[in-house]
A = this chain, B = another copy of it.
Amino acid sequence: MVDSNAADSTRERIVRAAKAEFAQHGIAGARVNRIAEAARTSKERVYSYFRSKEALYAFVVGQELAAMAEATRMDPADLPGYAGRLFDYYTDNPENFRLLSWGRLEAGTERRDPDGPIAHVLRGKVGQIRDAQAAGRLDPSWEPLDAIALVGQIAATWVSQPELAASGSADGFDVAARRAARGRAGRRLVPAPGRDEPEDR
């Protein structure tokens, strides 16, 4: 491990280049040579920071998940609002969704590791939801994991079905209309008590 400022900036360039490479080609398809070239460094240097391509992918994903959580902040008392922020985040950062999707397809058991970072984050969210349900700030009839899963799906409606987005209309993809539909779906599914019920259905 080298840790001068110049070295840190090489590392940052590697991480940035890796993110673009993985989003485009996936894990198996990514080439460490191309990452090194885009980061203006050598393959050996990449391996001095990250022991393998898979370790580099795991690092990039962890960083992105943290950035996404920070940008979207789950509020269990307002899940439709959270779904809206996720929708906007995916719309603004389609590469992020691609980055995660490759891992879902390619990674085997590691992403299902009950002690791994993803499981840890999920347990935190489940706890937040249970607390909000106990405090009467969220419909208690949803299993917390179902609520998280459904909100995630609604938010990803368009990024995960690109063939639907593309077939939209001759005018192209209307983000505002899709966001409105997503919002309506969120309010129907997981209404924020005292806020959403009257306006829908």
- Please list the residues of chain A having a beta carbon within 8 angstroms of any beta carbon in chain B: 25-26, 28-29, 98, 101-102, 104-106, 111-112, 114, 118-119, 122-123, 142-143, 145-146, 148-150, 152-154, 156-158, 160-164, 166-168, 177-178, 181, 185, 188-189, 197, 201
> Closest B-chain residue to A122, C-beta based?
B167
Min distance, Cβ A120 to any Cβ of chain B, angstroms: 9
25 residue pairs from A and B, CB less than 8 Å apart: A28-B29, A29-B29, A101-B105, A104-B161, A112-B167, A114-B167, A119-B163, A122-B164, A122-B167, A143-B181, A145-B164, A145-B167, A146-B177, A146-B181, A148-B164, A149-B157, A149-B161, A149-B164, A152-B161, A153-B154, A153-B160, A153-B161, A188-B189, A188-B201, A189-B189
Contact of A142 among B25, B114, B123, B181 (CB under 8 A): B181
- Copies held by the complex: 2
- Take A98-B105, A101-B101, A145-B168 as given contacts and tell me if A150 and B181 are in contact as well, using a CB distance cutoff of 8 Å: yes
CA–CA, A157 and B177, complex, Å:
22
Contact A123 B167 (CB under 8 A): yes
